[in-house]
């Protein structure tokens, strides 16, 4: 009898504890947020990353009933912003607008990175994906990606490609292209994509990988020739331009993503609330259309799926960064 009473008591106590936890989580989720949310963007205002973050911040604020304030913290390839969020209180009031660079490339690019993309964050959801396009100066005697590869093999070390700087996505796109096609081309780093584009248009460099949104007008005007897009599918903005895989590079895929993360330890109830809101926003026809105009695709993932993506892309980019020789302090 005594044993039965003890078991009954234990079961009742455990059930009560689980109910209290559930009630606490529900209360936490329903009350959040009670003040503005700080949305840290790892690059300066006015750029493509900032533009995407501001679109999401506005929509997310409307759904949460509190202002989501964009806080631009540029520098060190996004590392300054990521470290700030990693060290912030895990209460859902400081979020990071993470990118492929900050979460999957920086770990192998920076010798002394002061945050761990997996251990220090609670991934919430992707927001969008985009890709680059390979463009060449129209005076270069090539019309297809295959033509470019043949020319590069015939003239090793003579062709050049520009980028926004060491470790940038267009630099690493070029390095992946170099190794995938088994060619020798020289990297010319610039302080941003704009000066690299100036030299491409002037014929001082042979090619560059750049965002589709930045190049659509140049392509339509005949100022550059588009040979391939870097993603697994063609872009709606450039339907006649094949993917690099379609053009013969079977393993070539450079998909750039943007997503939202919170500091590690943020309560699951808050992470789940934010995930649901972001997923709902990105599923609207308005957001799909806005992303497409910018050469991107609206996306959302579960927190677990986002975590897996960060791990997969980190493993993918680590050897590319190593082979490129790029290293930053």
pLDDT in tens, 112-147: 899 999 999 999 999 999 999 999 999 999 999 999
245 domain residue, yes or no: no
Whether residue 270 lies inside any domain: the answer is yes
Please identify, among 212, 229, 246, the residue that sits at the C-terminal boundary of a domain.
Answer: 229
- Give the Cα separation of 9 and 276 in Å (integer): 37
pLDDT at 302: 98
Sorted by sequence, the CB contacts under 8 Å of residue 132 that are 6+ apart come out as 169, 170, 173, 209, 210, 211, 212, 229, 230, 254, 256
Average pLDDT for the chain: 91
Triad 39, 40, 46: Cα angle to 5°: 100
Is 261 a member of any domain?
yes
Q: Domain of 166: which CATH number?
A: 3.40.190.10
Asked, for residue 292, whether it belongs to a domain, the answer is yes
**Between these two residues, 19 and 145, which has the higher pLDDT value?**
145
Domain hosting residue 313, numbered range: 29-130+255-324
Tell me which of 194, 229, 264 is where a domain ends.
Answer: 229
Task: Please state the domain count of the chain.
Answer: 2
244 inside domain: no
Q: Is residue 272 part of a domain?
A: yes
Pair 125, 145 in one domain: no
| Pairing outcome for strands 207-211 and 160-163 | parallel
Do 282 and 293 belong to one domain? yes
**Does 47 have pLDDT greater than 70?**
yes
Do residue 38 and residue 113 come from a single domain? Answer: yes
Instruction: Report, as an integer, the average pLDDT of 316-323.
Output: 93
- Is 169 within 8 Å of 256 (Cβ atoms)? yes
Residues 267 and 204 in one domain: no
Note if the bond before 33 is cis, omega within 30 degrees: yes
To the nearest whole percent, how much of the chain has pLDDT over 90? 79
107: closest CA among 85, 83, 84, 130? 83
> Are the C-beta atoms of residues 193 and 161 closer than 8 Å to each other?
no
Residue 242 lies in a domain: no
Same structural domain for residues 167 and 204?
yes
- Confidence class of residue 107 from pLDDT cuts 50, 70 and 90? very high
The H or E element spanning position 274 is helix 268-282
pTM surpassing 0.95?
A: no
What average pLDDT does range 181-195 have in this prediction? Answer: 93
| 14 has a pLDDT exceeding 90 | no
pLDDT at 22: 44
User: For position 158, what pLDDT does the model report?
Assistant: 97
**Residue whose C-alpha is closest to residue 97's, from 147, 142, 59, 57:** 57
Instruction: Provide the β-strand partners of residue 262.
Output: 122
Same domain, 261 and 119: yes
What's the pLDDT at 11? 53
Q: What percent of the chain has pLDDT over 70?
A: 91
Per-residue pLDDT band for 101 (boundaries 50, 70, 90) equals: very high
CB–CB of 11/43 below 8 Å? Answer: no
Whether residues 121 and 146 fall in one domain = no
Cα 154 from chain centre: 35
pLDDT tens for each residue of 241-295: 999 999 999 889 999 999 999 999 999 999 999 999 999 999 999 999 999 998 8
Tell whether 141 and 63 lie within a shared domain.
no
Instruction: Tell me which of 214, 229, 244 is where a domain ends.
Output: 229
Residue 114 maps to which CATH number? 3.40.190.150
Rounded to the nearest 10 degrees, the angle between the axes of helix 268-282 and helix 303-324 is 80
pLDDT band at 25 (very low <50, low <70, confident <90, very high): very low
Residues 116 and 175 in one domain: no
| Higher pLDDT, residue 133 or 9 | 133
* 267 within a domain of the structure (yes/no): yes
One domain for residues 116 and 260: yes
Token couple for 308: 């897996």
Q: Are residues 123 and 137 in the same domain?
A: no
Quick one: 43 and 125 in the same domain? yes
């Amino acid at each position: 009898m005594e044993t039965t009473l003890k078991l009954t008591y234990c079961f009742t106590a455990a059930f009560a504890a689980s109910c209290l936890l559930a009630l606490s989580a529900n209360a936490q989720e329903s009350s959040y947020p009670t003040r503005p949310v700080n949305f840290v963007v790892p690059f300066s205002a006015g750029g493509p990353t900032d533009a995407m973050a501001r679109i999401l911040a506005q929509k997310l604020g409307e759904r949460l009933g509190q202002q989501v304030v964009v806080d631009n913290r540029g520098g060190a390839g996004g590392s300054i912003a990521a470290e700030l969020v990693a060290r912030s209180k895990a209460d859902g009031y400081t979020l990071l607008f993470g990118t492929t660079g900050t979460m999957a490339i920086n770990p192998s690019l920076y010798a002394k990175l002061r945050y761990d993309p997996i251990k220090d964050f609670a991934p919430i959801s992707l927001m969008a994906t985009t890709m680059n396009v390979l463009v060449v100066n129209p005076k270069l005697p090539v019309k297809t990606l295959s033509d470019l590869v043949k020319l590069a093999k015939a003239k090793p070390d003579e062709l050049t490609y520009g980028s926004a700087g060491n470790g940038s996505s267009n630099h690493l796109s070029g390095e992946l292209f170099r190794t995938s096609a088994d060619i020798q081309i020289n990297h010319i780093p610039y302080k941003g994509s704009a000066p690299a584009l100036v030299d491409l248009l002037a014929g001082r460099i042979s090619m560059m990988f750049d965002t589709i949104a930045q190049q659509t007008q140049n392509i339509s005007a005949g100022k550059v020739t588009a040979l391939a897009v870097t993603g697994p599918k063609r872009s709606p903005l450039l339907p006649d331009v094949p993917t690099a895989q379609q053009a013969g590079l079977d393993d070539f895929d450079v998909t750039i993503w943007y997503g939202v993360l919170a500091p590690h330890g943020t309560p699951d109830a808050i992470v789940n609330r934010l995930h649901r809101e972001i997923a709902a926003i990105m599923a609207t026809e308005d957001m799909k259309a806005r992303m497409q105009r910018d050469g991107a695709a609206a996306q959302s993932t579960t927190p677990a799926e986002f975590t897996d993506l960060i791990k997969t892309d980190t493993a993918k980019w680590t050897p590319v960064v190593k082979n490129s020789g790029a290293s930053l302090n």
